[in-house]
């Protein structure tokens, strides 16, 4: 036991250019390439005291550690995305040594090659749609209610107009999702993000990932901007380009289900 393990970020076709020197992986480690079976794994050496079985189990329960590790994982995958179309692995895929990594490449080679072939030249874009709440009317504009009935009437009015605004935003979200789906090769819908935790204002109505060929990326981005710009009832947020995380797993069919339950709610 040498006290160092191998953390694997992604599997790629042989890279045509090296990773930039300043890219750092988890725990500040320097990523390098392990070649095998016509594939490359991008890995880095990590301390066993942090990534050994028990340590890892404990650290995954630590939100601060999890955030740092997730960001570092993504940073390496992101750097790779500028060079090629990487297959990102799930967080915390760890081997004892380079031989272990080679074995994994050999065992999975057929599937890796097939998936790389399927996703080559594609990137993922994330799009989120939020309902934008209209500003509350100034309290001074309305005198205090003079009766219980008046109070209830006003309350009902407020609730109705809020519901109408939300409905309008939901419709826009649906239309946007349909338009983007038509421009994408594939789509995954994520559960809505929680506004309390994301501290982003407005209810998250749509949270989806779209698989788009690189050469059509600009077109896709332009479409998002065009569709998102013209209505004050919604705010549209675009993230990416991501490595095709959402499309890399082969168990795709049962992940597509969400379009109705969680998407545009």
Contact set for another protein, span 70-129 (CB under 8 A): 70-71, 73-74, 82-85, 87-96, 100, 104, 107-108, 112, 115, 120-121, 123, 126
Cβ neighbours, 10 Å, residue 149 = 9
- Closest CB 50 distance from another protein, rounded Å: 11
Dist. CA 263–CA 45, nearest whole Å: 39
Residue 191 within binding range of another protein, rule CB under 8 A = yes
Stretch that binds another protein, among 27-35, 134-142, 170-178, 190-198 (CB under 8 A): 190-198
Cβ neighbours, 10 Å, residue 37 = 15
Dist. CA 92–CA 148, nearest whole Å: 59
**Closer CB to another protein, residue 67 or residue 257?**
67
Q: Which of 37, 179, 217, 259 binds another protein (CB under 8 A)?
A: 217
Neighbour-count burial of 246, counting CB atoms closer than 10 A to its CB (0-12 exposed, 13-18 middle, 19+ buried):
buried
How many residues bind another protein (CB under 8 A)? The answer is: 79
Binding mask 128-167 for another protein (x = CB under 8 A): -----------------x-xxx-xx--x------------
- Closest CB 213 distance from another protein, rounded Å: 10
Residue 2 within binding range of another protein, rule CB under 8 A = no
- Closest CB 140 distance from another protein, rounded Å: 20
Neighbour-count burial of 262, counting CB atoms closer than 10 A to its CB (0-12 exposed, 13-18 middle, 19+ buried):
middle
Cβ neighbours, 10 Å, residue 235 = 18
> How crowded is the C-beta side of 76, counted as CA atoms within 13 Å?
30
Structure tokens at 91: 């967080």
Dist. CA 251–CA 248, nearest whole Å: 9
Residue with tokens 């609730």: 159
Residue 11 within binding range of another protein, rule CB under 8 A = yes
Binding mask 13-32 for another protein (x = CB under 8 A): ---x----------------
Structure tokens at 57: 């189990």
Residue 47 within binding range of another protein, rule CB under 8 A = no
Structure tokens at 195: 């506004």
Residue 173 within binding range of another protein, rule CB under 8 A = no
In degrees and rounded to multiples of 5, residue 224 shows phi and psi of: -60, -45
Task: Name residues contacting another protein, limited to 220-249 (CB under 8 A).
Answer: 221, 237-242, 245-246, 248-249
**Closer CB to another protein, residue 122 or residue 172?**
122
């Amino acid at each position: 036991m040498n006290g160092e393990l191998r953390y694997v970020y992604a599997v790629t076709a042989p890279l045509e250019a090296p990773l930039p020197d300043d890219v750092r992986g988890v725990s500040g480690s320097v990523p390098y390439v392990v070649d095998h079976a016509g594939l490359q794994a991008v890995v880095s050496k990590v301390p066993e005291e942090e990534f050994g079985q028990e340590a890892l189990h404990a650290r995954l329960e630590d939100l601060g550690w999890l955030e740092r590790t997730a960001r570092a994982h993504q940073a390496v995958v992101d750097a790779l995305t500028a060079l090629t179309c990487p297959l990102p692995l799930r967080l915390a895929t760890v081997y004892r040594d380079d031989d272990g990594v080679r074995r994994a490449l050999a065992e999975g080679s057929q599937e890796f090659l097939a998936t790389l072939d399927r996703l080559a030249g594609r990137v993922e874009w994330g799009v989120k749609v939020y309902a934008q709440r209209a500003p509350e009317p100034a309290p001074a504009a309305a005198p205090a209610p003079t009766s219980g009935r008046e109070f209830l009437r006003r309350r009902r009015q407020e609730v109705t107009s809020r519901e109408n605004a939300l409905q309008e935003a939901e419709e826009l979200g649906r239309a946007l999702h349909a338009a983007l789906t038509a421009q994408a090769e594939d789509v995954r819908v994520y559960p809505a993000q929680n506004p309390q935790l994301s501290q982003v204002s407005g209810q998250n109505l749509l949270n989806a990932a779209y698989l788009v060929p690189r050469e059509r990326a600009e077109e896709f981005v332009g479409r998002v901007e065009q569709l998102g710009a013209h209505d004050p009832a919604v705010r549209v947020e675009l993230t990416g380009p991501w490595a095709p995380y959402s499309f890399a797993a082969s168990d795709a069919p049962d992940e597509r289900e969400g379009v109705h339950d969680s998407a545009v709610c």
